[in-house]
Amino acid sequence: MNNIEKAILNLKINKFKIGDRVMFTKIDPKFPYTGNDIKPKETGTIRIIKTDGRALPIGIEWDLKTPSKHTMNGECPQGYGYWISINSIKKIKTNS
């Protein structure tokens, strides 16, 4: 990832914060396998945001448990955590 790509990624990341509720909207063509583990309209909460230029910078604790999800190094219960592309999610409104 070059410096321009990192800058664009960081601009997109800045729209999110830890604790935001998000919905999976689409499979990022760069990471087609994500669609095997996360289903359209699945929701979750952002637990980790990495700004070091990694391809999958957002760690989400999803509402639905599946065997392929994990703990994201102890950030959430086993079977709920998964790293995701910034291009695959959108914020959702909550009633709180």
Q: What is the pLDDT of residues 62-90, one digit of tens each?
A: 999 999 899 998 999 999 999 998 889 99
CA dist 13 and 22 (Å) reads 13
Phi and psi at residue 40, to the nearest 5°: -55, 140
Tens-digit pLDDT profile for residues 14-63: 788 999 999 999 888 888 777 678 888 999 999 999 877 777 889 999 99
Give dist(CA 21, CA 62) in Å, integer.
10
Q: What is the pLDDT of residue 33?
A: 76
Q: What is the CATH number of domain 3-91?
A: 2.30.30.750
Domain ranges of the chain: 3-91
| Cβ-based neighbours of 7, under 8 Å, separated by 6 or more | none
